Amino acid sequence: MGVKKFIVGCFDNEDVLFPAVKSVRKAGYKIHDVYTPMPIHGLDHAMGLRETSLHTAGFIYGIIGTTTALTSITWIFTRDWPLNIGGKPHFSLPAWIPIMFELTVLFAAVGMVLTFCYLCQLAPFVKKHHFHLRATDDLFVMVLEVTSKTNEADTINFLKKAGAVEVNVQVAEDGWWLGRYDKEQKLYQGHGETVIV
Amino acid sequence: MSLKEQFTVPGRFRTISLSLMAIGIVSLVAGYFLYGTGDEHYQVRFWGTLIHNSVFFLLVVNAAMFFICATTLAMGGWQLAFRRVSEAITVAVIPLGVIALIVLLALVLGHQHHIYHWLTPEGDKILEGKSGFLNPRFYIIWTILTIGGWIILGRKMRLVSAELDNGPVPVEQGRKYVFRSTVWASLFLVWFALTVLSTAPWLWLMSIDAHWYSTMFSWYTFASTFVSGIAVMTLFVIYLKNQGYLELVNREHIHDLGKFMFAFSIFWTYLWFSQFMLIWYANIPEETVYFKPRVEGAFKGLFWFMFVINFLAPLLILMRAGSKRNYTTVTFMAILIIIGHWLDVYQMVFPGLSQDPETGKYHVPLNFFDIGVALGFVGLIMYSTGNALAKRPLYVKNHPFFKETIIHHT
């Protein structure tokens, strides 16, 4: 987290975006992220993102759910409050399988949603910088991070040559902060200038 | 890019399928002389094997047509790269349907009341009450209609698909084609619902335990045979890929077939367990009698073995995305699933047939005869599918959705 300088290239076509992502990576620029209006198959591979381990987390949550159901219901029906239900033994596994199944699903589902929100930094009253509002509508927005080795003018030219319809330089907070989208809020006075090229 | 569209049956494939069929015929003849000519209990053993194998393999190849129709109705495009393989498998519905029809009619017309106790309901209150459904006339008519419907509607689906081989299809004509294939697919599915998903397994398999009933039985049989059908399709697809055909099928398609095998193994477990749990919970003797020999009696080992390879193995092995994209793992699991569900249908049929009338004890009569006949059916399916594949181009490349299967990405 921190305030950084970014070069933002906007593309209006998916077919231009893919080769652009490839050439930008090949040229050695650091891609901060690519914001798109809809999920694009294969973009994660093109950007070189690693496979998510969300499903491994889901598996672990599921196992925890199964274990919770089995141990708690075993404790309830054999130790804490044994009931005679239709003359069945106190420890009746078949009757508990639906409960074990439900808790497995519940833990896995809720756990994965929360993990996903955490990984994407999504929560109520959490605000993040929008590089371009049309990224939610019809623009594919590629954001490059400016490092000490970056030559800004060269980068802007490079993006334009790669097919960007609009390029600008922004200084922005790259993490999240507490705030609301429906209220104007100037976070960092003096840093928030936007240079349209 | 030029595609290899014409399949020629390799000599080795033909030799293997013919020798498997020969094994089947030899086992059938041997079984006939060992069991078929003996007294009633030996005959029950003989006919039991025939009904188990003919019904199981018929339902498995018919499940491939269910897959085609369901994906057609869902406007699916990803399966088109290997649609002709599924179609070729369903050609086997014709020979297997005829065989099953002969076996089933021979049971009823030959008055095999040791298999179907409902053939002689006199004096049995429960069977007399069921005689509106379980009677020879309805059984014969409905069985002929069932198998005939599958053959006719399945053939129509293949003919509709064959129209695409005539040449490129313009947009307007393509729309009409999609609509027409949807209509025929839904007709097949309605007939499928009236037969496989309800009456056919009740009549053919469940009525062996004539006093017992379960409304879930047909769904459970369907899940069993559908997952085996997907496994058969996967095996043929991977075989053709190994032979250098089906260039357009890649790991993405195998991944989706693997997902089907994984998901429907779980679905099978869900139905299997639901049927078991309700009966276990209610604990009514008329109902628990079905599970007594299976879960606790002689079939215990087979039952739990089949449970492990039908549920635990797919669950644990196919769960990872990587294993669903690995040709070796998927092939291994497909073979395991087919064996597992063959055993599953085996334990639907045989406990009701293998009780010793004097001691009341059960035994598991599984031996070379069952396996030999099963191999014969496998050979027949291979032979029929190979010939059907060689008759038509391997791709429906003029299908309006064909691009979807080329760029398919899971």
* Distance (Å) from the alpha carbon of A94 to chain B's nearest alpha carbon: 6
With CB atoms and an 8 Å threshold, state whether B281 touches A86: yes
Smallest CA-to-CA distance from B298 within B353, B225, B372, B358 is with B353
pLDDT tens digits, residue range B216-267?
999 999 999 999 999 999 999 999 999 999 999 999 999 999 999 999 999 9
As assigned by CATH, the class of the A3-48+124-196 domain is alpha beta
Do the Cβ atoms of B388 and B240 come closer than 8 Å?
no
pLDDT band at A196 (very low <50, low <70, confident <90, very high): very low
Provide mean pLDDT across the span A118-122. Answer: 90
Do the Cβ atoms of A42 and B409 come closer than 8 Å?
yes
pLDDT band at A1 (very low <50, low <70, confident <90, very high): low
Provide mean pLDDT across the span B97-106. Answer: 96
**Where do the domains of chain A lie?**
3-48+124-196, 55-119
CA distances from B353 to B112, B156, B224 (A): 12, 38, 21
Q: Which of B272, B281, B291, B407 to mutate to test the interface with A (most CBs of A within 10 A)?
A: B281
Q: Is A42 on the interface with B (CB under 8 A)?
A: yes
Residue B194 confidence (pLDDT) above 60: yes
* Distance (Å) from the alpha carbon of A51 to chain B's nearest alpha carbon: 11
A95 vs B contacts (CB less than 8 Å): 277, 281
The answer, yes or no, to whether ipTM is higher than 0.90 is no
pLDDT band at A195 (very low <50, low <70, confident <90, very high): very low
- Residues B231 and B60: their CA atoms lie apart, in Å, by 9
Q: Is A94 on the interface with B (CB under 8 A)?
A: yes
Query: Which residues, other chains included, contact B115 with Cβ-Cβ below 8 Å and sequence gap of 6+?
Result: B44, B47, B48, B51, B107, B208, B353
pLDDT tens digits, residue range B61-75?
999 999 999 999 999
Tell me, letter by letter, the H, E, C secondary structure of B267-282: HHHHHHHHHHHHHHHH
Query: Which residues, other chains included, contact B2 with Cβ-Cβ below 8 Å and sequence gap of 6+?
Result: none
- Helix crossing, B327-349 with B251-282: angle to 10°? 30
B283 vs A contacts (CB less than 8 Å): 86-88
With CB atoms and an 8 Å threshold, state whether B277 touches A55: no
Beta bridge partners of A143: A8, A33
> What pTM was computed for the model?
0.89
